[in-house]
Structure 1
Amino acid sequence: MINLVRIDHRLLHGQVAFAWTKSLGTDCILIANDEVAKDSLRMSALRMAAPSGVKLVIKSLEDSIKALNSGATDKYRLMIIVESIKDADELTKQVTTIKEVNLGGVKAENGKKQISMAVFVSPEEIERLKDMNDRGISIEVKMVPEDKGQNAIDLIK
């Protein structure tokens, strides 16, 4: 069962590893990221950040989609982490059981608009968020479980 799909450019870090997994009772974290799946050094660093007792799986986006759609992940209380809005858009298009996305962190770059303390979006990302919303995906900006969530679509208007 998917407990949370989170967009966070930092992927796995203390805030995610401990606050979210504890709050949700997560027993498996799936990092769906093409670059990390090919980088043994980054994989090693992420494995060190995983909380004790929580399984960490790192797969390409395509392999993650296949695993999610095959039912292989159904036995876990799963948190999925993607690095970008683009990856979340693709994931939600191909895994139709995903109806909610947590927008936790998107880094500041030139040409991006700040919509919350840790979320900066480009015009292309805004269009992707609107498209996800139009497909019935709820997108909530929320850094930690204790925060009051905000609807991303309301913030980008």
Structure 2
Amino acid sequence: MPNILLTRIDNRLIHGQVAVTWSNHVGANLIVVANDEVAGDSIQQSLMDMAVSGMETRYFTIQETIDKIGLASEEQKIALIVKTPQDVLKLVKGGVPIRRVNIGNMHYSEGKEQLTSTVSVDEDDKKTFRELHELGVQLEIRRVPSEKGQNIISLI
């Protein structure tokens, strides 16, 4: 069973807030980015690695994450970072044991409704969050550890 301490939706993936604040808060020593695009882009990986100090990183596609996360050792304390709720749903349906999701950043764009200052959703996002909720996943909007979390289900 992989030791996943944090699963976070953040469309910026790795940046200072994730690399320092959240990882230290949960005690992670490995950041796994599950994203099909970044898994094949060494330039984006190098840029994200610049934000990380004293911690290992892995960049996997969604399918690689499903296939490999169960091979993690007990010593690997994992912060799992994804871009979208749809990615989380694929991971959960693929057997990754995710029980709680921290929703940090989902940028506003055309067709999205702003729920909080950092989280905007469209109808597909709402549908996906409801499905994750039905699968027993706790879904909390929380930008930084010191903030009080909000259950996204109560907002959609």
Class of the TM-score when normalised by the shorter of the 2 chains: over 0.9
Contact 1:36-1:42 within 8 A present in 2 as well: yes
Q: How does 1:1-157 map to 2 (within 5 A)?
A: 1-50=3-52, 52-68=53-69, 70-156=70-156
> Structure 2: any 5+ residue segments left out of the alignment?
none
By how many angstroms is 1:77 displaced? 0.9
TM-score by length of 2: 0.94
* CA root-mean-square deviation: 1.1
By how many angstroms is 1:92 displaced? 1.6
Q: Give the count of matched residue pairs.
A: 154
Give the AA of the match of 1:108.
Answer: Y
Contact 1:29-1:78 within 8 A present in 2 as well: yes
Give the AA of the match of 1:91.
Answer: L
Give the AA of the match of 2:19.
Answer: A
Give the AA of the match of 1:48.
Answer: M
TM-score by length of 1: 0.94
By how many angstroms is 1:74 displaced? 3.8
Give the AA of the match of 2:129.
Answer: L
Contact 2:66-2:96 within 8 A present in 1 as well: no
- Divergent runs of 4+, >4 A: none
Inter-partner Cα distance in structure 1 for 2:51 and 2:77: 19
By how many angstroms is 1:8 displaced? 0.2
Identity among equivalent pairs (%): 36
